[in-house]
A and B are shown apart, each in its own frame.
Chain A
Amino acid sequence: MKRGLSWRQSALIAGLGVLVLLTLLPLFMTLVTSQKSNAEIHSSFWSLPRQIHGAYYADAWQFIWRYILNSLIVGAVAVAGTVLLSSLSGYVFARLEFGGKRLLFVLILSLMMVPGVLTLVPGFLWYKEFPFVGGNNWLGVGGHGFLDTRWVLIIPLVTGGQVMGIFLCRTFFESIPKPLFEAARIDGAGELRAYWHVALPLSLPILATVAIMQFVGAYNSYIWPLVTVSRSELQVFAVGVTKFGMEGNLEYGPVMAGYVVGSLPLVAVFAFGMKYYVEGLTKGGLKA
């Protein structure tokens, strides 16, 4: 009986090992290929690189740093805005009793039913024809609105991100024992101070979840920056990386190196906050 079990366990491990191998092989080969010349890729695809081409990473960095920086800027501002608004409004919905609360909350939740395909086209034109911005008059004619600015990337991230954020924060704040807030109130603190001094410090884990979900979302977004930003000085990584290797004589090595370099921000984020992201994924699943 015992032997049979261990046989089954080793088969299990072997099976899972194959699956892991298949899952990770493309990533591993990307790393390997980032150190090979075209001729080497062609002649000995599966072998390890014969020599280390540090220059490939230098080339890649040269091309890609601007896009990564832009993604980081957009991501950071969007995260800050989202965290602030989510926690503030989440706090209001969790802790304050007021007329119209249910209606407003349902209005926010109903936005989860609005798919991106419905708003992509009208959203694009609305940002373009936004009144009084980017040379537009009050009817939105004459200029380019928010297009080709960082705002066109940041605003929708904050606007959309807070919906999920409010939902997560509300649930979290509701779980904080009431006496904590009542103590603050007895001390004479207003709602804003209770939020700032009591709620925020307690809610760091859920805010980390919101922040990481938001950052990963921002870093991965592609279609929206593609259609709204045309100046390459402002373009983000996801769009910029697709242009790599399109120009000039194509060596695959530096392109792969660019993929690796571009993944580093997410590696850093997950190294620090995998736990929070996983939590966000599973909780966020309630979305539907």
Chain B
Amino acid sequence: MISGGMPIPGHSCSCVPRFRRLPGQAGFSPHCWLAVLSMALCALAVHGRAEANDAEDRISLATVNANYRVALGEIARRYQREHPDTSVDITVIGQGFETWIRTRFAAGGDLIPDIFNVNYVSGYVEQGRFVFLDRYLDEINPYTGTKWRDCLDAAMLDRYMWHQRIYQIPIDFIDIALFYNADIFDELDLDIPATWEEFLGHCQAIEDAGIIPVAMPGDFDSFWAGTVGWLFRMFGDAYLRGFVPLIMSRPGDWDYESERNASYHYDPANPYSDLRVVTNKERLFNAILSGRLDAGGKEFHALHRQLKAFSDYWQPGFMGTNQESAIQLFYRQRAAMCILTSSHVTGIIRDFKRLAPEDRFRYGVFWFPPITSDPLVQGPFRGVGGAGMTLAVTQKDDAAHERRVVDFLMYLTSPEAGQLLVDMTLAAEQPLTGPFVVSGVELPADLSERFAPFEGHGYEKINFRGLADEQESVADWITICQEYFGGRLSLDDYLNEYHRQMVEAIGRLQERLNVDLDPTTEDVPEKRPIHKRLWNPFENGLLAVLVILACFGLLGAYHCRRTRGATRRRTVTAYVLLLPTFLLLGTFSYFPALSGLYHAFTRWEEGHAAVFNGLDNLRKLASDMAVWRGAGNMGILLAASVFKATVVPFVAAELLQALVRRRLRYWFRTAFLVPMVVPGMVGILIWRFIYDPSMGMLNQGLEAVGLGRWTSSWLGEPSLALPAIIFMGFPWIGALGLLIYMAGLMNIPQSVHEAYRLESDSTLRRIFSIDIPLVRGQTRLLVILAFIGSLQDFQGILIMTGGGPGLATTVPALRMYYEAFRFSNFGYGSAIGFALFVVILAITLFNMKVLKAGESPG
């Protein structure tokens, strides 16, 4: 999804709530994985179909929507009853759906499902992997007796086209709205606000009553897939939709459609006026490059000011809250409102069943009231939702099979099947995604009423989160946006940087996707074969390994020739016995290290051979704000880690040493070593739980001792996040330091201590003038290890904060990881690794030459 095809308009994850995603994973799986993930051919062949099947044809449907599991099974059963010659397999993959689909596509053939949830996996329509359904839409749907098109929602079909052709059928609809606690509203005598200004007044009243007005998820993932991200799109559209005429296709453009664009007049009063308008990406890019559409402009200013004002009413530290915790705040009545998707309308009913009756509350739903006081607002807020499940038919070059698959899809979109989907899903106590967009489906009355606020607001047409969904620009934007919301970047600086990032992103799109900025031509990403230069050992690894091994062989041969008899035999034996070790080292240690040194000076991207680019990477490094902020954080973390690695274990060791009873000393020592049995990752996850704002041990502890007002969202406040990272592992008595110091102190001869006692009786003075100098070697060792270790370590930060909020806890090693594995900038990633290597090398050499030389001999 990263450097791959430009996402299809209105497509993919931006429209789909994927709240429970893995940190740092699914949403940003680097493009390289697509190729990589796939190849498990052998395993899949075994994994494939095993059971015998009598039916003539088999239709397979795969979906991520686990809530429909039961209903889809029943629909398949009924369909098979009517068509005994066809069998229908339903596969529900809750987690890892995208990966699953990609492995299936890689395996090919029958393993590719005939129908699947296409809105979760991008990139295949460009490859022509789907059947265009336009010709089937005008056929009669045998299950309704009318044209198939008439069973479906025309506006939604329109939204999900690719190059003006239909390949996916939307089944249901999802959007966001404000959920409110009706008990709190009644208590404070508030009613549903008619304008945004009135709404903010309500928020103030709620805050004055000591309740969080709005629970908002604000961590990195939520800015992309969570409701705060949807909020940005909604505000973007409200302020920016006036730019639609600027970026829509014009006569002569490759994607111009007179029927759609010629009749369009900009009409802010009609939320649907631009529904069918075709916009052109390159016109958008040109508008940005020419400055006609400027992130530094007044619209962007106004929309961010408006959002920032709103954010004052979100819970403190919202940038450390994920979607799940935000909902918890609302459920536990600590927040009066929460922005949730339509799937929560039924989700809440289920979740409330688990709450004690006295913990339940009445709730209602309302749509975002319009901003009335700002002339820059183009009109009322429009919907940002879309289909929750859209199904596409994969191309299999078998006309008869394709017809049967489409026939099943027609059945699935008939009122009968649609009704089954609703009724059985509700009966199974699963959430409904939202209103259905298949006609003829009846919802229970109370549900229709709750779904009503979600409908009829039109659809957003223009918004910015990064640029054109290009993932690197999205991630860059989220970072600076969090910096702005955390008060660490002024609005002007933020927007200027935003503009710069968009321009940078256009450059990347030009390079990687062949975008030529000429709206009259359609740009197709070229699939260039990788050309490796055979003579270059860094591109031809085989050559490199052969050279390294040849050196080993030559060294052996040279020494064999110089010797005779038994000595020669011994030499031969030695080289033969060392061969396995050097075979492995040469291939898997020396080569990657040398390759890293070389590739730090290349542009190296997924799917391309590396290109030597001199000092470009280092120049970029020198001006990379994220790396420099990371270096600053690194400095603080280094200082802290040296303290944690030396002072704390030294004190603990002295305390243990001072114990008179040896057994006691042994038990205490063992107790301090116990945390070693906890796997490192579990230790990190436990600390993440300790910091959890609603359930965490730290807040619970503070409340238990009456310091409730000190509780906080530890990882969500920009100023607290880094200290919280440092505080992890408190009281920091590391096994290594403790053991080394204990051994060191034990080695100090008793006589030395006794001799000093003649001079002074003070233990403290003894420690300073005898112990500390005598364990200087150990201290130096621990300092070096702490330096080298914490310069490289980023897994804790990756799990705890992902480097956020904004850049508050980022470090250079983490940037390296992101550049390489999220954005496929392997060359630049190598350059960051190279820079860190140089620092580590310098420290090590300094230690060896200067510090050792300064030490007294012996």
| Contacts from A to B (Cβ < 8 Å) | 5, 9, 12-13, 15-16, 19-20, 22-27, 29-30, 33, 38-39, 41-42, 45-46, 85, 88-89, 91-92, 96-101, 103-104, 107-108, 111, 113-126, 128-131, 134-135, 138-141, 143-144, 147-148, 155-156, 158-160, 162-163, 166, 190-192, 216, 219-220, 222-223, 227, 230-233, 237-239, 241-243, 246-250, 252, 256, 259, 262-263, 266-267, 270, 274, 277-278, 281-282, 285, 287-288
Contacts and interface: CB of A to CB of B under 8 A. Distances in A.
Contact of A121 (B577, B681, B791, B829): B829
Contact of A12 (B570, B658, B671, B736): B658
14 contacts: A20-B671, A26-B686, A113-B841, A119-B592, A120-B833, A121-B833, A134-B39, A141-B529, A148-B36, A148-B39, A227-B821, A249-B351, A266-B676, A281-B740
Chain B, interface SS category: helix
A213 to B, nearest CB: 12
A117 B791 contact: yes
A163 B29 CA distance: 33
Interface in B676-698: 676-682, 685-687, 689-690, 694-695, 697
Given A96-B570, A223-B817, A242-B685, A115 B837 contact: yes
Contacts of B847: 288
Interface stretch (B416-424, B579-587, B748-756): B579-587
A27 B834 CA distance: 38
A285 B36 contact: no
Contacts of A140: 532, 541-542
A4 B539 CA distance: 73
A259 B686 CA distance: 8
Contacts of A108: 581, 585
B678 A120 contact: no
Most buried by B among A97, A156, A247: A247
A97 to B, nearest CB: 7
B816 A120 contact: yes
Given A121-B830, A124-B820, A222 B681 contact: yes
B697 A263 contact: no
Contacts of B821: 124, 227
B792 A115 contact: yes
A162 B681 contact: no
Q: Top 10 nearest A-B pairs by Cβ distance? A: A99-B559, A122-B595, A123-B592, A118-B837, A45-B700, A98-B574, A238-B681, A122-B596, A220-B680, A98-B571
A248 to B, nearest CB: 7
Contact of A141 (B21, B95, B530, B652): B530
Contacts of B597: 118
Contact of A126 (B529, B567, B595): B595
Nearest to B594: A122
B570 A246 contact: no
B581 A162 contact: yes
Contacts of B521: none
Contacts of A104: 555, 578, 582
Interface residues on B, range: 35 or more
A55 B255 CA distance: 58
B837 A117 contact: yes
A98 B581 contact: no
Given A99-B562, A117-B837, A119-B592, A13 B664 contact: yes
A285 B736 contact: yes
Interface string B727-740: 00011010110011
A281 B735 contact: yes
Contacts of B736: 281, 285
A227 B655 CA distance: 43
Contacts of B582: 104
B96 interface: yes
Interface string B481-492: 000000000000
A139 B529 CA distance: 12
B788 A192 contact: no
Nearest to B785: A288
Contact of A230 (B37, B539, B674, B817): B37
A237 B837 CA distance: 29
A24 B671 contact: yes
Contact of B556 (A88, A100, A135, A160): A100
A119 B94 contact: no
Contacts of A124: 820-821
Interface string B790-801: 011011001100
B704 interface: yes
A135 B39 contact: yes
Contact of A241 (B33, B558, B682): B682
A155 B588 contact: yes
A287 B29 CA distance: 36
Given A148-B40, A220-B681, A222-B795, 11 more contacts: A89-B581, A99-B558, A111-B589, A116-B792, A121-B596, A121-B599, A140-B542, A243-B95, A246-B21, A252-B689, A285-B785
A285 B593 contact: no
A118 B682 contact: no
B571 A148 contact: no
Nearest to A45: B700
Contact of A42 (B567, B695, B784): B695
B309 interface: no
Contacts of B673: 274, 278
B324 interface: yes
Contact of A99 (B23, B355, B571, B686): B571
A121 B781 CA distance: 28
A283 to B, nearest CB: 10
A54 B507 CA distance: 57
B558 to A, nearest CB: 7
A119 B596 contact: yes
Interface string B216-250: 00000000000000000000000000000000000
A144 B32 CA distance: 10
A138 to B, nearest CB: 6
B348 interface: no
A47 to B, nearest CB: 11
